[in-house]
Chain A
């Protein structure tokens, strides 16, 4: 029982035990996670995928802050029923500008990855403020304050600059003009702009199956 002898050493030496745990527990991450972080195909955008505009980014940050992702996924799995219900399944390349990712783990509400263009802006405006006025049985919370609160514009340049340093291609001009895009708007406007662009980063090749409808 050589293994047990080795173990006896570990079991009597604090530093060795710490080192042993660190070594054994990091193997999985090194072999499985690290390669993914360097995998090019996971970092290459789809043909139609572009960085978020200033307004959409502000909307996305509201989506994050309100925790919409606790009830909504943004990940259409490659299953027939799922494609039927929500549209073309999600491609890795569509998410390259998503920091953090918002795939979610629970669908109390429907998937939102291809919700862009599904409804009018006005529908969203009414639905977000009081979901039950358009969907009587809805258990989604209302967000009346989003229609009242002004959108912050003082932090948007810092955000865009930060993202640029991480490789998102924003031009000086875009950063320069960003605050003007947000001024005078309510939070709900930004959120709707974000919802309307969701899923538009991927266009199905002409003869594609799996058209989405109710």
Chain B
């Protein structure tokens, strides 16, 4: 890495970042609208109007894939590209490839979504897309890695900042999981059979499924946290050492926890027990990060009053703490007996998804968008309204699903004095309607807030150009030789 002295100025490639943020917001709106629609279908099952592509079983995977791969991954790419440039003090490596990735990824999510509606589906959760898409995902993921690690290897500053390890782990581990879990034999252009069968397929799938949550929905977004939280708060991360230890503990222990999705299922007992123990262990690195985050903002409480973006991020930390506490509890076999297969799981998912993933992303976007175009946010008031809508929507969603899930779980299991089942399945099903109604309302509120944000960004960036930012000159003492 020689420091060639070029005279013509080099700028950060922030246009790509802006475009990815815009795509991410668009996917958030679309995929959450799909979530609201499937929530409504559980109340009014004839909403699909006899149309196959509006049917619950096809739309639900569209909701999860659209949100995770459209909204989530676009947001992660945007923030990874923004922060890796600034922590390396160089523009993106291979910007043309980055632009290609930016658009090709959207095309992939769009066509993949349409294929789900057409009934192409492997049913392996969060890996529902069929084999042609699996190959495309793998190739695009490699280009993500090339751009990201390429930028790091050209960096002008010696240490690789902590946020980049989390983004790096996202890229590497998801690649490994994706390839292994999707090994399948194509039999036609639209259909394949998994190379694993039955119980083995289940074990591989949940090794993937849990760690897609771990390294994408948790680890990837922790990368976002480690860069943008200190930026927002205007002070460095509270303990760098703690973040180092937490990173390696996290990377090591997450991988083992998958079998907590298969308690009391037809897989070996030792695999389940190991999964449970490692899930409890996971609490430690998860909360180490929580503590680090809270301590970092603890001296910036003043800013909280005026900065809606920071409010979102601090709230997201609270929900991160909740979801990573609840998760290990649900991984205990005797608790899982009640929670498994019920709406409790759905509540847990969305406490993480809405409270943690969506909120931290919103907070980050509120920080980014005005800066990218060099102006103030169009309306701080709207952003504050959005904050309260997001909080209300999330709380209502979680509470409704807890109530639904715990009662479902207990009623399914309850036996009367003679040892017979106390309640029929259909009676329990019918009693869920009020909770599903509340969840629908919660979804509408949350979606409403997201629409406000989209409008706010539109007004902020309308007819404005992305500002050009030059990397700063690096003090040779810290630079790469």
Contact = CB atoms under 8 A, between A and B. Distances in A.
A203 to B, nearest CB: 16
B57 interface: yes
B337 A79 contact: yes
Contacts of B41: 141
A85 to B, nearest CB: 6
B248 interface: yes
Contact of B56 (A70, A89, A104): A70
* Chain A interface SS verdict (over half): helix
A69 to B, nearest CB: 5
B123 interface: yes
Interface in B237-281: 241, 244, 248, 251-256, 258-259, 261-268, 271, 274-275, 278
Nearest to A167: B197
Given A79-B337, A96-B197, A141-B48, A21 B425 contact: no
Given A61-B191, A84-B420, A101-B202, A131 B45 contact: yes
A90 B266 contact: yes
Nearest to B265: A75
B296 interface: no
B162 to A, nearest CB: 9
A205 to B, nearest CB: 17
Given A22-B176, A145-B52, A214 B266 contact: no
A75 B205 CA distance: 15
A159 B191 contact: yes
* Chain B interface SS verdict (over half): helix
Interface of B: 41-43, 45-46, 48, 50, 52, 55-58, 60-61, 119-125, 149, 152-153, 158-160, 165, 168-169, 172-173, 176, 180, 185-188, 191, 193-205, 207, 215, 241, 244, 248, 251-256, 258-259, 261-268, 271, 274-275, 278, 337, 340-342, 345-346, 412-415, 419-421, 424-426, 429-430
17 contacts: A25-B252, A28-B256, A33-B204, A37-B200, A64-B122, A73-B341, A77-B263, A95-B199, A98-B197, A99-B194, A100-B122, A103-B262, A104-B341, A105-B341, A108-B42, A141-B45, A162-B186
Given A29-B180, A64-B122, A100-B194, 13 more contacts: A21-B165, A21-B169, A25-B215, A32-B255, A32-B256, A70-B57, A81-B413, A84-B420, A96-B198, A101-B202, A102-B123, A106-B342, A109-B429
